[in-house]
Amino acid sequence: MPDRRPLAPVLGVLGVAVVTGSLAGAAGAAFIWLVDAGIELVWDRLPDALDAGTWWIVAAPVIGGVLVGLGQRFLGNHPAPISEYTKAWRSGGGIDAADTPASFANSLSALVFGGPLGFEAALTGVVGGVGAWAGDSIGRAGHLLRQSWGWEQVDQLPATLRRLPPWLAALSGVLTFRWLPFGSLHFGVDLPDVDTTLSAPEALSAFAAGAILAIPVAWLLYAVSRSEHASFFRRSPIMIAMAGGLVVGVLALGSDLVLFSGQGGLGRIADTPTAELAYAAAAKALALIVVYLAGWRGGPIFPLWFAAAAWGTAAARGLGLDGLTLAVACLTTVGVVFFRGKVLAGILLTMLIVPFSAFGAVIVGAVGSAVGFGLAEQAGLVPSLPPDGEAGTGHQEGDERGGTGDGPEREVPQHQEGGDHAEPPGE
């Protein structure tokens, strides 16, 4: 009579995968919803209730600085830069699920109160942390399955079934995220369509803009990374975070485009005067560096996208060229330089926010950026960039919780040899 093994443990592993994956999707949706609701409360409802004037533009980031400083003081330096997460994944580590609440709270404070930061680092810390917890939960369930079935007999399961739990968790997370009636992921970018036919002057200008802008963008990314890894704010996290908020508020008096990540501002570029565009681009880049130095945490991509697009539009107006085409080409430079000259990666990143009609301008700008960055790199005109360069490798002093505050230090848990935490009934 064949040896029959209980199916309950197998179903239990699959159930854990579905539940934990769904919770990860719900966490991402909840975070996005809270950011949107918080921005509406702080920047719409409270000013109306207080009959606040221009002074609120300065006051709100300062209040945000108090919350950011409290988070740094009591929760630690989270979320980590994306370059740190990348290094951890490459080395076989991952995000520490225990850091998820800190990433959630710190990012929420920075994004809601007008910090010129993107939400990509926040979502990585929040969703990645919950995903790490899901993986650990699946691993523990797989450990019980091995005990129930026997360490040898579990390998009799079909390979597809043994590999199913992580994929099932990921699918459950995506479906939950899409199904929930709140927290939909959106980029808030409303760029108009671009003429799909590029004239020779437009193509040449887009190529030249990408090649020329690659050098300053590389240095700006270097400065941003160095600022993100600075640690002097630990001497007085609340006061320094408030000072950073004050600088942002004062800069925003010249243009409210300085506030927030910039995705909303991208849709306003065409209707913004040239002088204000030039100011907002420079001020947002400066504000991004300042808030990083002050302990505010978030992503750099959207603010740099806005700055590059604003510079491109201002330059196009001065040269009598199509502003939108040149703006898209300059915007593409950020992705190409971020991926250190990789054209395809830069194109894919840029196409997340630009209309498909701008594909021609994106390609020309990406090639120009890659050529300019490659030549500048060979000539030693650009710095080393993270995650492989030195800018993202500086370690910081330990935070109050005993960690380094420099990114994930999580060691991959090994319940048994072979690492069954990732594939619960693994091979």
Residue 242 predicted with pLDDT over 80: yes
CA angle 45/289/209 to nearest 5° reads 105
- How many Cα atoms sit within 13 Å of 326 on the Cβ side? 24
State pLDDT tens for residues 27-73. 888 888 899 899 999 999 999 999 988 999 999 999 999 999 999 99
For residue range 318-377, list pLDDT tens digits in order.
Answer: 888 777 888 999 999 999 999 999 999 999 989 888 888 888 889 999 999 999 999 999
Share of the chain above pLDDT 90, in %: 42
Q: How far is CA 425 from CA 74, 149, 413, 416, in A?
A: 39, 10, 15, 11
Q: What is the pTM of this model?
A: 0.79
Q: 255-273, pLDDT tens digit by residue?
A: 999 999 888 888 888 889 9
Dihedral sign for Cα 310, 312, 318, 321, please: negative
What gap in Å lies between CA 117 and CA 106, rounded to an integer? 12
Residue 427 pLDDT exceeds 60: no
pLDDT given at position 409: 37
Range of 166-175, 266-275, 300-309, 398-407 with top mean pLDDT: 300-309
Q: What is the pLDDT of residue 58?
A: 97
Q: What's the whole-number mean pLDDT along residues 396-417?
A: 37
Q: How high is the mean pLDDT of the chain?
A: 80
Where do the domains of the chain lie?
A: 8-179, 200-392
Q: Over range 187-210, report the average pLDDT.
A: 76
- CB distance 117 to 43 below 8 Å: no
Best CA proximity match to 144, nearest among 21, 3, 8? 8
Right CATH for 200-392 from 1.10.357.10, 1.10.3080.10, 3.40.50.720, 1.10.3720.10: 1.10.3080.10
pLDDT at 114 exceeding the cut of 70: yes
How many other C-beta atoms can be found within 10 angstroms of the C-beta atom of residue 98?
13
Say what the pLDDT of residue 400 is: 38
User: Higher pLDDT residue, 148 or 96?
Assistant: 96
From 319, 305, 83, 320, select the one nearest 213 (Cα to Cα): 305
Residue-wise pLDDT for 81-108, tens only, equals: 877 776 766 665 667 778 888 888 999 9
Lowest-pLDDT range of 167-181, 229-243, 284-298, 371-385:
167-181
From CA 159, how far away is CA 406, in angstroms rounded? 38
Among the residue ranges 19-23, 91-95, 241-245, 281-285, the one predicted with the least confidence is 91-95
Peptide bond into 273 cis (omega under 30): no
- pLDDT higher than 60, residue 80: yes
Say yes or no to pLDDT of 394 above 50: no
pLDDT of residue 151: 46
Nearest Cα to Cα of residue 23 among 150, 124, 169: 169
